[in-house]
Amino acid sequence: MTDLGYPASVQPEDRGLTPLKVEHHGRIQEMRKARETCAERLGGRPTAPPPGADELSKFYDLEIEAYECLVAHGYTPELPPSRETYVSSYFAEAGGPWSAHRVDGKFLPVTECPEARPEDIEW
């Protein structure tokens, strides 16, 4: 990632977070393409343990940003749950956790408001 212009570092394992921290400087779509390039070069993506409460809380913030962006662009996504509900039910939801891009069980393909991904979290 660093070679492609996205400084990256491995986080200590004892923090329970996504092990790779990537500085994307707001260029999320370009960073995602760089990750795919890296995965192709290295033979696949690395695996990580499930996210912890701190990581899910930060991911919730990204989902709320996406929600606000969608509303600003005239969409009517499902109302977000509270942070506590989102974090506590993230793995328990039958259809997956709440997502700003899900409307009536389907995902909105909105390019103005990219879908949040765990790798977009900035620590």
Q: Which residue has the tokens 């509900």?
A: 85
Domain ranges of the chain: 2-42, 53-120
The H or E element spanning position 20 is: strand 20-22
As a whole number of angstroms, the distance between CA 82 and CA 63 comes to 12
- 8 Å CB contact between 92 and 122: no
Q: Render pLDDT for 42-94 as a digit per residue (tens, 0 to 9).
A: 887 666 677 889 989 999 999 999 999 999 999 888 899 999 999 998 888 66
Q: For the purposes of burial, counting CB atoms within 10 Å of the CB of 109, is it exposed (0-12), middle (13-18) or buried (19 or more)?
A: exposed
- 8 Å CB contact between 6 and 34: yes
Q: Render pLDDT for 90-123 as a digit per residue (tens, 0 to 9).
A: 888 666 789 998 877 777 777 788 888 777 777 6
Q: Render pLDDT for 9-43 as a digit per residue (tens, 0 to 9).
A: 776 654 444 566 777 777 777 888 888 888 888 88
